[in-house]
Amino acid sequence: MTHVTLETDGALAIVTLDNPPQNRIGDQMADELAGIVEAIESGESRAVLLRAKGTDFSFGGDIMNWPEMSPRRLRATFDRYMSLFNRFERLPLPVITAVQGLCFGGGLELATRADIIVAGESARFGHPEQSLGIVTVLGGVYRVAERAGRAFASEWASGLQRAPPARMLRTRPCCGSGPKPELPRRTAPCSTSPCHYSRPKTCGAVSPPPSTL
């Protein structure tokens, strides 16, 4: 069973996390996502939609084996995931993340690699790493700081708060919310969709021109 899939709808590449019940990110998902990123890099897509099946976007990393891993192996795993997330972030085309349910830990850190995050009303964002006695390790806190400011990012990363879409909109990590994070079935032509603009991607924090929102 695959944990992440790639399909296309016209010029839109649709990446779907599908590792029920919590869409946790483990080695298999990382391997498959790396292959998908490579396919997008060499393909003809003009925009990317990252989404997830199920009730929740992602609970984050698959932590079940972490206590059995040596510090060296655990660090190597985190370095590998960081490299993959950064590569996803550097895709030279617009990326939108659609979030429903819980978006925690590594799931949040993957979501913040997008240019735009659209959240459903059920979405809740958070850093649960403190419950494991660790801090965020895949760069998510820096991406939040770039969008929402250092003070908010530091306070949020230091606690176990679950931020709803309303707060994310006020502080600007998210660019939109609604009952469900749904997008049209068919993509618009590139001349009228967000993929008509181009710009260098800097940590996934650069927003598109106002005319595209």
What is residue 146's predicted lDDT score, i.e. its pLDDT? Answer: 80
Question: What is the distance between the alpha carbons of residues 96 and 163, in angstroms, rounded to a whole number?
Answer: 19
Q: What CATH number should be reported for the domain holding residue 165?
A: 3.90.226.10
Query: 172: exposed, middle or buried (C-beta count within 10 Å: 0-12, 13-18, 19+)?
Result: middle
pTM of full prediction above 0.75: no
What is residue 145's predicted lDDT score, i.e. its pLDDT? Answer: 79
What is residue 144's predicted lDDT score, i.e. its pLDDT? Answer: 77
Tokens of 127: 């850093």
Residue 146 main-chain phi, psi, to 5 deg? -65, -30
What is residue 190's predicted lDDT score, i.e. its pLDDT? Answer: 29
- Residue-level pLDDT, tens digit, the chain, 213 residues: 999 999 999 999 999 999 999 999 999 999 999 999 999 999 999 999 999 999 999 998 886 676 777 888 878 888 899 999 999 999 999 999 999 999 988 899 999 999 999 988 899 888 766 655 556 666 677 787 787 777 777 776 666 666 666 666 655 555 544 555 554 444 333 222 222 223 334 333 333 333 333
Give the residue carrying structure tokens 């969709």.
193
Question: Mind listing the pLDDT tens digit for each residue in 6-49?
Answer: 999 999 999 999 999 999 999 999 999 999 999 999 999 999 99
Question: Mind listing the pLDDT tens digit for each residue in 68-79?
Answer: 778 888 788 888
**Strands 12-17 and 4-9, bridge-based pairing:** antiparallel
Our count of domains for the chain comes to 1
Structural domain for 189, as ranges = 4-212
